[in-house]
Every structure is written in C-alpha cells, then in structure tokens.
Structure 1
Amino acid sequence: MRALLVCTNHTDYPTKPEKTGLWLSELTHFYDEIADRNILIDIASPAGGPIPIDERSLKRNDNTNDKWYHSAILRPKLDNSLRLDSIDPQAYKLIYLTGGHGTMWDFPENTRLQEIVRQIYEQGGMIAAVCHGVAGLLNVCLSDGTTLLHDRQITGFSNMEEKLVGLKEEVPFLLEDALKAKSALYSKSFLPFLPHIEVDERIVTGQNPLSARKVGRKVVEEMFDK
C-alpha cells in the first residue's frame, strides 16, 4: 500500500516578515500514526524539492517533531519532495494534505492536486487533510460534476483561530467561510485549538495542528481495523 503526503512550497505572507510553510507537527504526528503500518510513504509538493517549515512550528517542544525531523527516513523526503506533476494517482490508496498557512496560497487553485485527489477518491482511496491543508479540497470536482465537499461533514482551521493567531488579515481568504461557501457541512470544536476531526465516508479532516494525530488514527482505523 502506498500513501501520498502533500506539503506546501509557499513561504511568504503579504506583509509580515516571518516565513510560513508546513506546520511541522501536522506532518509528523500523522506520519507517526501510519509509520508502523505496511505503507510506503511518499512526500510531494506543488513544485517539488525542499519543503519549507514554518519557523514557529520548529520552536515548540515536541518529541514527535524531534523524532521524525531528524529521521534518516523522513528528512530526505522533506528535503527532496516529489513534484505533483510527477505523481501517478493510481499508485496510491491514501492522500493526506498537511497544513501550515502556506497551503492557502498554493493548494486551492492547483489543478494537478485536484486531479490527484479526485482520482484517488474515485478509485476507492482515502482522502485526509488537516488545518489549512483542507483548502486543497475546496475546488475538487468529481467526474459526475459534483464537488467533493458538497453536503460533506468537514472541518478545518476556524475563523476564530485565524483571528487569535493574528493572521486574519494576511491570508487570502478564511477557510471556514470558504468551506461553507462550497456547501460543506462545517463544524468545529467548542473552544479554539482543541482537537477536532470529522469523518464522512472516505474523507477525514482535522481542524487544527492538535488534530493531526487523531486524523492519522482515524485513517488507520478506517483502512486497517474495520
């Protein structure tokens, strides 16, 4: 079995000098849950090459980040990610869209990403995404012309969370609002930044960084334990 984990290449905010990119724990916590299964794991990005890491996510004390960021298995994949244009969707049973604010710029309009998600879904595979990575599902259309998210139970980074992290004026759109505009049945945790996931058939989404491990566990449960 093969899984495709997709990360952003985007680093710049419109006005803030800080750099964005992948929020590291959204990759490592999910990876930690699936790594001991018999799964071949590839990491890809829109442009390929090195994955930028959001500086703030590297500053947190996180044993799982330490374990995998310095791993001889994962680190080379982060430094040399596959280009989405080179991916054959037929090879994969699972796709996971990691987050980090960078995804808000290079995921939503990426037609190759949309096509890969569609093909994996329509061949019976699992679709998973967390936090801002859910933005990569906004414009996915299925072969019958319907949108992937229509009437689906979905979560993703909330308007309130965006406001609380001080980036509401930096992002190109608010993910919660965009999901609702696509007729997704959006839900969120009672309090900001608590773990929250939604499962709708073969689509698993997580609200924020603390949800990534729960997304991984649910994917493993759905794929292996049922």
Structure 2
Amino acid sequence: MKKILMVLTSVSEIGDTGEKTGYNVAEAAHPWKVFKDSGHFVDFASIQGGQPPRDDVDSEDPIQVAFTQDEATRAGLYNTARVDVVDPEQYDAVYLVGGHGAMWDFPDSEGLQKLVASVYNAGGVVGAVCHGPAGLVNVELANGIHLVNGRTVAAFTNDEEVAAGKDKVIPFFLADRLEEQGATHVSADVFEEKVVVDERLVTGQNPASAAGVAKEMEKLLAEVIHHEKAEEQHEAEALRAQKDAEKAAKKADNDAQH
C-alpha cells in the first residue's frame, strides 16, 4: 500500500464572471477508484485548506456518486489540509485534480510547488490531469530546472478552452505556458483521451483522461513496490546466510574443542 495525496483547487468562481467552479468531480472520482481498488491510501489537500468547492456531480456516473457518498472521502474533503502544511515525506505520489479554478490558484502556490518538487525529488510519482498541470507551472526541482523542462506532457488544450467558451476568461493558455517552460505539449482531438508518461511524471489532457492517468501512476507505484519487496527479500536472504554462517562457525568451534 502506498499513500497518494490528491490536491484540489480552492477557487470557486471562474475569474470575475460569477460562474461557479471548483475541482472537477470526475477527475477526482475516477482516479480515487483506481487508487482505492489497488489498495492504496488516498488523502486530500487543497490550496487554502478546509472544504474545497466542486463542480457539478454527474448523477448518472456511478463512480462520481460513490465518491461523493463514501464516508471516508466525505470526511477527508470536509476539512482538507492546506498544501503548505502538508508533510511531503508522508506521500509516495501526488495527483493534481483539474477544474477551471486550478488555473487561478495552482500556478502561484509556493506550497504546492514545494510539495510537488519534494515528492518528485524523493523518487515519488507526480500526476496531473486537465487543468491540474497548472500546478506543474513554476515547479523547480532540486537541480534548479523546471519539472516540465524537456518533458512531454498533456493538458487541457487551447482548442478545448475555445470549445468550452473559456478562452477569453482564463488567465493564460495552459498548453502554451507549459511549452514556455520547456515542455513538449502533445494532444488528442478535442475532449478525446490522451495520457502521457515521462519518467515519473504522468499527465492527462481532459476529464476523459483522468482514470488513465491514475492507471499509469499505479503502474509506476507497482514497480516501486516490486523493487522494495525484492530488496526486502535480498536483505532477508543475506541475514539468513549470516545466521547460518554463525551457526556453522559455532558448531565447528565446538567440534574443535571436543
């Protein structure tokens, strides 16, 4: 079992339009199911802490319904931790949930930047979907290089912003900003699934990509677990060999004395 932290936006309005927003429920619910079904522990945090705002729930999506009704999840979302007080050493992976609100509070959150950098620097997995990659903007690793520099990534596209009618409202085009920081942005058609894995960074284009991002993160975590088990077995075998050698030496010493 690994510990995964889901990070959510605290912004409840799209710019100054008065249109309500928050985290995208599908982008939280579908990965949550993937992680839980794999036996991992899921925690929640948000930029400001407390109860984060959310977009509408699709009542015809049983996974979204299960997510919103799960008692442990409801408790975790009722009072999320603020990202700048989260201990990154407690987590093996961090997943940045999208929703238009993330475009306003993810990029300039120093707490989020430190959290993402710390998890990645420690060998952890970082995932983000749709507008979630806004939280990768401005993240610098221990070597001083932007996390996305030289990486291939997916995120909500310019065409999708136009299709959603938000191109005149958003503070910047996410795909363009990622490329400005040295990333190569790749995409599928508008609202089609696209998931990209680049080492321990997993990104997805839109809500349709959320479960796919979680599945690829799960594969990376499974590799870590397999490696850890192999190391444990190696250590156990080494300890057993040492004990056997000690017993053999003691027996030889006893035989010599008699």
Q: Which TM-score tier does this pair reach, normalised by the shorter chain?
A: over 0.9
- Map of 2:218 onto structure 1: 220
Counterpart CA distance in 2 for 1:11 and 1:170 is 14
State the Cα deviation string for residues 159-181 of structure 1 (Å, max 9, x = none). Answer: 00000010111111110111111
- Map of 1:91 onto structure 2: 90
- Map of 2:60 onto structure 1: 61
Q: How far has the Cα of 1:131 moved from its partner?
A: 0.4
Q: How far has the Cα of 1:3 moved from its partner?
A: 1.0
Q: How far has the Cα of 1:78 moved from its partner?
A: 1.5
Unaligned runs of 5+ in 1: none
Instruction: Give the TM-score normalised by structure 1.
Output: 0.95
Structure of greater Rg: 2
Q: How far has the Cα of 1:143 moved from its partner?
A: 1.4
Instruction: Give the TM-score normalised by structure 2.
Output: 0.84
Q: Pick from 184, 195, 198: which aligns with 2:196?
A: 198
- Map of 1:81 onto structure 2: 80
Q: 1:1-226 counterparts in 2 under 5 A?
A: 1-55=2-56, 58-59=57-58, 61-189=60-188, 191-224=189-222
Q: How many residues align?
A: 223
Counterpart CA distance in 2 for 1:12 and 1:131 is 17
- Could you tell me which amino acid in structure 2 is paired with residue 68 of structure 1? F
Q: How far has the Cα of 1:216 moved from its partner?
A: 0.8
Q: How far has the Cα of 1:83 moved from its partner?
A: 1.1
- Could you tell me which amino acid in structure 2 is paired with residue 209 of structure 1? P
Larger mean Cα displacement after TM superposition, 139-148 or 59-68: 59-68
Q: How far has the Cα of 1:142 moved from its partner?
A: 1.0
Counterpart CA distance in 2 for 1:176 and 1:60 is 31
Identity %: 37
After superposition, the CA RMSD in angstroms is: 1.2
SS of 1:176's equivalent in the other structure is: helix
List structure 1 runs of 4+ shifted beyond 4 angstroms.
none
State the Cα deviation string for residues 148-197 of structure 1 (Å, max 9, x = none). Answer: 001101010000000001011111111011111111011000x1001101
Q: Which has the higher helix share?
A: 2
Q: How far has the Cα of 1:73 moved from its partner?
A: 1.8
- Could you tell me which amino acid in structure 1 is paired with residue 21 of structure 2? T
State the Cα deviation string for residues 22-47 of structure 1 (Å, max 9, x = none). Answer: 01000000001010233221100011
Q: How far has the Cα of 1:60 moved from its partner?
A: 5.7
